[in-house]
Amino acid sequence: MAKIDLSMSNLDDLFPENFTQEQIAKGKTFFLKELSYEAHKFYGGKSMTIPKAGIYGFNWFNVWYTPGVSKVSTSIRENNDASFDLSNRGNLVAVVSDSTRVLGDGDCTPPGGLGVMEGKAYLMKYLGGVDGVALCVDSYNDKGEHDPDKIIEFVKMLQPSFGAINLEDISQPNCYKVLDTLREECDIPVWHDDAQGTGCVTLAGLINALRVVDKPLDQAKIVFYGAGASNTTIARLIITAGGDPRKMVLFDSKGGLHTGRDDIKADKRFYRKWELCEKTNPNKFDTVPEAIKGADVLIALSKPGPDVVKPEWIQAMGDKPIVFVCANPVPEIYPYAAKEAGAYIVATGRGDFPNQVNNSLGFPGILKGALLVRARKVTDKMAIAAAYAVANFAQKKGLSPDYIMPTMDETEVFAHEAADVAMMAIEEGVARLDMTREEVYQKTLADVHETRAMIDHLMKENFIETPPIEMLEEALAKAIDAVK
């Protein structure tokens, strides 16, 4: 059992040597939750707003505000696109949620999503050099129902202040209408990270996992466990990227998706699910055990585990099975158990296990690339370009069963991602600006390095206070006691 320090470089070593793998896995989850709560309380959240322009004398107040700023207002009035140059709009993202589907915790009430939305904004800044603002909204209508039209109207009203919108943690089926409507009706990119973001990084992980086992995408037999916003979008992106829908089967809580699912067909709000009913599962499998036989890939985004995905399902899969179990905060089966059942490659949504397939590897670079060329939307081709940027970056470093994805501390992956997304935006005609790939790459890298240098300076000068080591020790002690 190692002594804890602020770096927390290897969480497994913090637990007693006589702990089982299951105890360590459960202990890490408990520890991270407890420490997160205490750290958020210590800092009062994790983000703030600070100026990026200086005050060099009293009259600079008159430059940044009235009367000088009047010229900025009238210039933007004459040309609204000037707002991208004369304000922070061009590097600013609204992280919008009604908090109805927060991680694996469900409806957390509107303010309950603030921790996640602030976290999203934090990662945007640290990983992509993008400013983000957490906006959790009340989507209830007069009938006490969550109304997608309220979110749509809210986003339309605020879009003049932002360069892009990141939708997050909106439950289905509302998430489909919100995204599809806003993508078409807004003049800035609207990105649903639970859907498009998770789809993008999962495609990246799948590309490399199939490279490791030497199986082509169009030949892969894939079972999807869970048919929410994430998995339905993952399936759609895989199909767009060349996967064969006839070799895919999706499952929701009522069984397999196929043309016999009249319950889905009858509810027009679930039109995205019905599209997949029409394209996938030609054999009309209704149970996982029958669909999983000989499958190459299992992609689970359902509900937190660890006993949701069964070992016998993995045992029934084909040669060198690939298992993605990406429920948060606890995967549907722990990686060690999946490996014991025969999985060759295992990926989760967590960074304390190998092969983290998490949208944090996607949205900072994707949104940065879209912002730099002032894209009007993020298309599916842009998302697929990002997926290949992530996959190819990892491939150049050398793939293995335990390394199919870059990690969040591999800074350059976000710059490559931004550059490829920007080039695809230009190619598809949705960009306002024309830049070279190298210009986007270097600008992204410079902004990320600037952000990290600033944070390092704030930490060094104690403007960001160092949390007491006792906070970590107490959280670890509670975790150890909880799983003994």
The two tokens of residue 484 are 């003994």
Q: Could you give the CA distance from residue 35 to residue 431 in angstroms, rounded to a whole number?
A: 42
Nearest of 191, 32, 236 to residue 97 by alpha carbon: 191
Residues 6+ apart with CB under 8 A from 341: 311, 312, 314, 315, 333
Question: What residue type is 78 in one-letter code?
Answer: E
Kind of pairing, strands 222-225 and 248-252? Answer: parallel
Contact between 186 and 156 under an 8 Å Cβ cutoff? The reply is yes
Rg of the chain over Cα atoms, rounded to whole angstroms, equals: 23
Residues 6+ apart with CB under 8 A from 295: 221, 222, 223, 316, 317, 318, 321
Q: How far is CA 242 from CA 216, 246, 459, in A?
A: 10, 12, 46
Question: Residue 397 catalytic?
Answer: no
Question: Residue 46 catalytic?
Answer: no
> In 10 A of CB 295, how many CB atoms?
23
Determine which one of 28, 120, 177, 215 is catalytic: 120
Determine which one of 37, 41, 43, 65 is catalytic: 65
Backbone angles phi, psi at 222, to 5 degrees: -125, 130
Nearest of 354, 348, 464, 361 to residue 409 by alpha carbon: 361
Residues 6+ apart with CB under 8 A from 248: 221, 222, 223, 224, 235, 238, 239, 279, 280, 281
Residue 173, preceding bond cis, omega within 30 degrees? yes
Catalytic (active-site) positions: 65, 120
